[in-house]
Amino acid sequence: MNIIKTTLLTAALIFPVSVHLHAQDTATADSEPAPIVIEPLFEYPVAPDSLGTLQEKSTWVAERFWDGLDIGNRQSVDQNALNHAMGVFVELTRWSDSDAIVKTIDNLLQSLVANPTLSLQFTKAAEEKLYGPRAQYWSDELYLKFIDNLLKTKKIKKERTLRYRRHADLLRNSMTGGKPAEFDYTLPSGTTAHYRPDGVLTVIEFGDPDCDDCRFAKLKMETDVEFSELVDRGQVNVLFIITNKNEGWEEKLSGFPTKWHTGANEEIDDLMDLRSTPSIYVIDEEGKIAAKNIPVTTAMSIIKAKVTEKEKI
């Protein structure tokens, strides 16, 4: 079921209406799409009409959402059905009280501790809905809760948790609000430079000069007059880090603005959370990650807003 339909179903749980949804297979353009029916694992709760606000309704449903699963009597569940349920729950988290969501997830995970199979299945569902390319939205904090629960669950072979250990390391090295991991990078001259937050607002673009989206991000920063002036005045730093040293990478950096810092690090994706291409980070004046894996226009807007805020002080 796609994100739009999941959102509509979630809205139906918050604001009770009659709704009929079908996921559809659109792989063959010349034939009629065949409906894919996913039987729910349990009956999803519906918010009572007596509740007033969107947050109240969302929180009420989210707090009771997993009650119908009867985890104690299940060894495993259908993964597709669980993914669907997780998608609905994740949509609810966007409007619910954040403390209530954390408590609800903590209670859910506590009930999974003695069930390694379900713990793994829930982590897979959380990966799809909170971390992967098809996620409704990315939430490192919530996804890490599922990973941490899995890693402390006994009777799961280490090789089945390796990908999640890696995800946890990447996320903790690059959590929004935390300090980014320091790293070395090779300059086009062949010498080595070291990056660490230095108290200057910084945009880091991890990408490839041959990537269309990476070139677009570079062009947007180069041609934005206000942003370029901030770079020229030294109020903002820009790093462009190539993640693959393909032949001739040094020459490909020769046309970059002279005020930018450019280089390459082929191991950076084992250190930082680079889920998009390009992967763009904004580092604030405290040396913390203000935002990551965002569009370049969003990054520039954050930078400009922070400069404006500082100038008002």
The fold of the 183-312 domain, in CATH, is Glutaredoxin (3.40.30)
How far, in Å, CA of 77 to CA of 65, rounded? 16
Residues for the chain: how many in total?
A: 313
Going by their DSSP bridges, the two strands 34-36 and 23-25 should be labelled as: antiparallel
How far, in Å, CA of 175 to CA of 159, rounded? 25
Number of Cα atoms under 13 Å in the Cβ half of residue 165: 10
> In sequence order, which residues have a C-beta less than 8 Å from that of residue 255 and are 6 or more positions away?
none
> In sequence order, which residues have a C-beta less than 8 Å from that of residue 303 and are 6 or more positions away?
201, 203, 227, 230, 236, 282
Q: Which two tokens stand for residue 290?
A: 């203000």
Handedness of CA 97, 103, 105, 111 (dihedral sign): negative
Nearest to 183 by CA among 284, 174, 175: 174
How far, in Å, CA of 125 to CA of 127, rounded? 5
Q: What spatial distance separates the first Cα and last Cα of the chain, rounded to whole Å?
A: 49
Q: Which two tokens stand for residue 108?
A: 């859910």
- Where the chain has pLDDT below 70, the residues are 1-37, 313
Domain extents in the chain: 3-173, 183-312
pTM over 0.75: yes
Omega before residue 209 within 30° of 0, cis: no
Cβ(100)–Cβ(107) under 8 Å?
no
Per-residue pLDDT, 161: 94
